[in-house]
């Protein structure tokens, strides 16, 4: 009987992609409503949120090209969004210490305040995620990490500041501890899959070859127990 459904159903990856696409539609609709409530387009709201997440004295200000890369939009679209935000007094330009010919983008005080509201996730999405039992939330976070990594490797999205490709990440450094098997050498503490970050300000990316070694160790799961 299994073969009957195998012949009637679309391939499983196609059905997964269709389901994720439906989630994307719901997310975009929520972001539209949230952005419009604050007089912004979704792209402008996302740019504000990105600038807020990447701001800090220790980090260089983002450029228009950075926004285009991280939001997966064209340079002209990013430039239009930045121009509109600047006109609204939400961002300003400042000299870029990396290149005297370029300027970086920083939030104004008004932009910082609005970024906290307009750049937030739609409440419905947060509620639905919170409805999942904690073990399913943890499992989903691990799967989302894998999906993001796959999209990165295919050049579909900009590199994310994930734990799983960070030089501070030590997967399964504590294999005997099922709850917190990994280790972060930045804070020198163990942590579990439920603590995995997809955008960590302290992330220090590994070179591609080293990242692949760490990634393989992470997705392979805990090492087999040594027989007594």
Q: Is the pLDDT of residue 148 over 70?
A: yes
Give a yes or no: residue 25 inside a domain: yes
Q: Which residue has the tokens 């992609």?
A: 17
Number of structural domains, the chain? 2
The model carries a pTM of 0.79
Last residue of a domain, one of 118, 148, 166: 118
Handedness of CA 166, 168, 170, 171 (dihedral sign): negative
Domain extent at residue 167: 132-219
| 170 phi/psi in degrees, rounded to 5 | -125, 90
Average of pLDDT values for 66-94? 92
The answer to whether the CB of 34 falls within 8 A of the CB of 118 is: yes
Q: Are 113 and 163 contained in the same domain?
A: no
Same domain, 82 and 142: no
Give the relative orientation of helices 134-153 and 123-131 as an angle to the nearest 10 degrees: 120
Residues 157 and 65 in one domain: no
pLDDT 10s digits, 88-127: 999 999 887 776 677 889 999 999 888 877 766 667 788 8
Residue 197 in contact with residue 158, Cβ under 8 Å?
Answer: no
Do 174 and 111 lie in a common domain?
A: no
């Amino acid at each position: 009987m299994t073969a009957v459904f195998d012949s009637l159903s679309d391939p499983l990856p196609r059905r997964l992609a269709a389901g994720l696409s439906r989630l994307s539609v719901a997310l975009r609709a929520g972001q539209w409503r949230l952005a419009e409530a604050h007089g912004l387009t979704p792209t402008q709201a996302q740019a504000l949120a990105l600038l807020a997440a990447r701001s800090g004295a220790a980090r260089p200000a983002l450029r228009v090209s950075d926004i285009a890369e991280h939001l997966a939009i064209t340079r002209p679209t990013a430039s239009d969004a930045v121009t509109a935000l600047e006109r609204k007094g939400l961002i300003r330009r400042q000299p870029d210490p990396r290149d005297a010919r370029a300027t970086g983008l920083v939030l104004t005080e008004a932009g910082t305040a609005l970024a906290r509201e307009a750049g937030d996730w739609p409440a419905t999405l947060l509620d639905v995620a919170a409805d999942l039992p904690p073990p399913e939330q943890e499992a989903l976070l691990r799967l989302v990490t894998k999906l993001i990594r796959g999209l990165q490797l295919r050049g579909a999205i900009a590199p994310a500041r994930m734990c799983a490709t960070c030089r501070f990440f030590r997967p399964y450094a504590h294999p005997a501890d099922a709850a917190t098997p990994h280790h972060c050498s930045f804070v020198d503490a163990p942590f579990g899959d439920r603590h995995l970050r997809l955008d960590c300000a302290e992330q220090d990316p590994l070179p591609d070859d080293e990242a692949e070694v760490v990634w393989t160790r992470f997705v392979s799961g805990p090492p087999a127990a040594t027989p007594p």
